[in-house]
């Protein structure tokens, strides 16, 4: 059996959460290595670009979250085998990642600087990304983003929308997604109610 070890921050969100969910849903055994934020300075010394998540596959370290998502998605049966459907799946994941890259620098800001930067995103690029994602969802039936079934693209959007709604992002209104892209909010709620997802978060006593 392939030995898998996923390394990421100890919180329920971010770039590793789709892979964690995929492996849980697919019944894929893995070591869920979580670390606290103060430990990152030490952890990053042993990663290729000073970044996480990383995935150890039989002792070989792999980086880049969407490469990891595709790999574990294939293991878990949550990635399309059809080339075109795989393209649609990848497209959605890359768009979510692009939005995350724009938000990322604001986590290193504080005070007015952070407020101005996040409000610029709330009033600029975030609604553009959300509207596009909603359009893709509706164009493919309104339930899933690709392959007419759950894929890692759905899990990536689920984690992103859940984060935007969480209230943990200062200066990002918790009703932003509902206002801009209500179909994405409904999608997030459907994924959250899946028995395997409910069971995953119940392990951590997360509501």
The rounded Cα 71 to chain-centroid distance in angstroms is: 15
Do 12 and 56 fall within a single domain? yes
Q: What is the separation, in whole angstroms, between the first and last Cα of the chain?
A: 33
Query: Which range of residues forms the domain containing residue 71?
Result: 4-77
Tokens matching residue 164: 């935007």
Structure tokens at 188: 């997030």
What is the per-residue pLDDT for 188?
98
Q: Is there a domain that residue 113 lies in?
A: yes
In this prediction, residue 205 carries a pLDDT of: 81
The answer on 184 and 112 residing in a single domain is yes
Query: Domain ends where: 26, 45, 77?
Result: 77
Residue 93 within a domain: yes
Do 43 and 145 have their domain in common? no
**pTM of this prediction?**
0.96
Question: Looking at 45, 77, 109, which one is the last position of a domain?
Answer: 77
The pLDDT score that the predictor gives to residue 204 is 87
Tokens for 1? 């059996």
pLDDT of residue 207: 63
Concatenating the DSSP letter of every residue in 156-201 gives HHHHHHHHHHSS-STTS-TTHHHHH-HHHHHHHHHHHTSHHHHHHH
Judge if 89 and 187 occupy the same domain. yes
Question: In total, how many domains does the chain have?
Answer: 2
Per-residue pLDDT of the chain (207 residues; tens, 9 = 90+): 899 999 999 999 999 999 999 999 999 999 999 999 999 999 999 999 999 999 999 999 999 999 999 999 999 999 999 999 999 999 999 999 999 999 999 999 999 999 999 999 999 999 999 999 999 999 999 999 999 999 999 999 999 999 999 999 999 999 999 999 999 999 999 999 999 999 999 998 876
| pLDDT score for 206 | 72
- 25 and 92 assigned to the same domain: no
- CB distance 15 to 53 below 8 Å: yes
Q: Are residues 33 and 48 in the same domain?
A: yes
Q: At 75, is the secondary structure helix, strand, or coil?
A: helix
């Amino acid at each position: 059996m392939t030995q898998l070890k996923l390394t990421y921050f100890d919180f329920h969100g971010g770039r590793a959460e789709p892979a964690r969910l995929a492996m849980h849903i697919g019944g894929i055994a893995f070591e869920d290595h979580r670390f606290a934020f103060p430990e990152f300075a030490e952890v990053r010394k042993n990663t290729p670009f000073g970044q996480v998540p990383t995935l150890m596959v039989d002792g070989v370290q792999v980086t880049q979250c969407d490469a990891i998502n595709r790999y574990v998605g294939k293991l878990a049966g949550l990635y399309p085998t059809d080339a075109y459907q795989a393209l649609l799946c990848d497209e959605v994941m890359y768009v979510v990642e692009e939005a995350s890259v724009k938000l990322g620098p604001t986590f290193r800001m504080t005070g007015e600087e952070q407020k101005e930067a996040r409000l610029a995103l709330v009033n600029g690029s975030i609604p553009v990304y959300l509207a596009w994602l909603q359009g893709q969802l509706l164009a493919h039936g309104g339930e899933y983003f690709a392959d007419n079934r759950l894929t890692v693209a759905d899990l990536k959007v689920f984690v992103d929308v859940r984060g935007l709604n969480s209230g943990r992002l200062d200066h990002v209104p918790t009703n932003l997604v509902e206002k801009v892209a209500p179909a994405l909010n409904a999608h997030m709620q459907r994924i959250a109610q899946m028995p395997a997802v409910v069971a995953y978060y119940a392990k951590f006593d997360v509501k």
